[in-house]
Amino acid sequence: MKKLHDQTNCIHGPNHFEDPHGALTAPLYQSSTFKFANAAQGAARFAGEEAGYIYTRLGNPTTRELEEKLAQLEEMEDAAATATGMGAVSASVLSFLQQGDHLIASSALYGCSFALFAHMLPKFGIEVSFVDMTDLDAVKAALKPNSKMLFAETPINPNMTVLDLAMLGQFAQQHGLISVIDNTFMTPLLQKPKHFGIDIVIHSATKYLNGHGDVVAGVVCGSKEHIETIKLTVLKDIGATISPHDAWLINRGLKTLHIRMERHCESAQKVAQYLESHSKVERVYYPGLESHPGHRFIGNQMKAAGGVIAFEIKGTLSDGEQFINATELCTLAVSLGDPETLIQHPASMTHSPYTQEERLAAGISDGLIRISVGLEAAEDIIEDLEKAFLCI
């Protein structure tokens, strides 16, 4: 069969089994353990001499369906599903770094990724340097003899800075670093980091991949060697294993990912343009706008700008709080990629693990507001925002 389009693979994916009852939808294997035909088979599976399932922490048919589908979409050899997005972050880092190693990380990251790197990794003797990854000279200056990994996300949460993946991929390859990119905001439909030389791609599957706000999960995609290491070390022994039920829900969510991303992007563009023209808005951060420095990457690195917008309101922090509280259709909640439009204040919510000094260094101001544009009519979202602006 010829190579299929991503939207087709979101629905079908690699079919690794045929249901004996002919079910159209793959069944949910809600089982913690799997029986063996005899003792010899059990021993062979534990020894890795025979394929088959043993225990859901080590693998599950429903989970495997999700892993194979995401590996295919990211055009990677394999994937490992995790219990949360942070499970994917920690598994991708802890599986390959040890005491004495050095990690080069983006200065702006999701708050819990930053907290893991800034506060947890140093406890285990892993050194971390946070740098502005839009500046190649800054990245070069951070390189040390013990550097082992480069970690970033693009666009960056929450200020939507876009990084040059080709530049970072080439730098990592030149210096023998494992490169890890968080691709949550784009999904494999809008950006494929592997095309730019990136080794490992992670997702918070909680967000767009699931798309319905009822799951927390993560996925790590990479080479067979990297994924085997992750599964046989951190996932096996620390145990951030995804529930089969959550994997089943994400498999279901993936079937509509393509049409959902089209609507998210289309509506976000309209909302961003509205915000940019508003007299009470200081600045809008959205790569779909020509005023955004990351706009130049659309059409080559990124197919579209995604569904997340950040913006600064003219006025005080109190004005920002008043604005958020005045919205009715937009839901005051963290996360993104849901059918509902979500609005939040990063400095006091998702990025609260940063100190104020760290936030400002990462470009996250006290007045920054982030919107995850949902699947409602864009006109209704804009009307809700307009009513909220009248309250400040």
Instruction: Enter the tokens of residue 114.
Output: 């930053």
pLDDT at 380 over 90: yes
Residue 321: its pLDDT value, please?
Answer: 84
Q: What stretch(es) of the chain map to CATH 3.40.640.10?
A: 20-254
257-389 belongs to which CATH class?
alpha beta
Q: What is the pLDDT of residues 185-242, one digit of tens each?
A: 999 999 999 999 999 999 999 999 999 999 999 999 999 999 999 999 999 999 999 9
pLDDT at 98 over 90: yes
- Average of per-residue pLDDT values in the chain: 94
Cβ-Cβ contacts under 8 Å for 200 (sequence gap 6 or more) = 92, 178, 179, 180, 181, 220, 221, 222, 226
Catalytic residue among 64, 207, 260, 370: 207
182 part of the active site:
yes
Q: What stretch(es) of the chain map to CATH 3.90.1150.10?
A: 257-389
pLDDT at 268 over 90: yes
Residue 365: its pLDDT value, please?
Answer: 74
In the CATH hierarchy, which fold is given to the domain comprising 20-254?
Aspartate Aminotransferase; domain 2 (3.40.640)
Residue 17: its pLDDT value, please?
Answer: 65
Residue 18: its pLDDT value, please?
Answer: 73
Residue 317: its pLDDT value, please?
Answer: 75
Q: What is the pLDDT of residues 167-183, one digit of tens each?
A: 999 999 999 999 999 99
135 part of the active site:
no
Going 314 to 316 to 317 to 318, the CA torsion angle's sign is negative
338 part of the active site:
no
Indicate the Cα dihedral angle 298, 300, 306, 310, nearest 10°. -50
Catalytic residue among 29, 53, 110, 285: 110
Catalytic residue among 182, 199, 246, 338: 182
Residue 22: its pLDDT value, please?
Answer: 87
- Band (1; pLDDT cuts 50, 70, 90): low
pLDDT at 355 over 80: no
Percent of the chain past pLDDT 90, that is, above it, reads 85
**Closest C-alpha to 205, from 73, 64, 86, 28:** 86
- Band (354; pLDDT cuts 50, 70, 90): confident
Percent of the chain past pLDDT 70, that is, above it, reads 98
Residue 16: its pLDDT value, please?
Answer: 62
pLDDT at 362 over 80: no
285 part of the active site:
no
Residue 46 CA to residue 36 CA, distance in Å, equals 11
pLDDT at 351 over 80: no
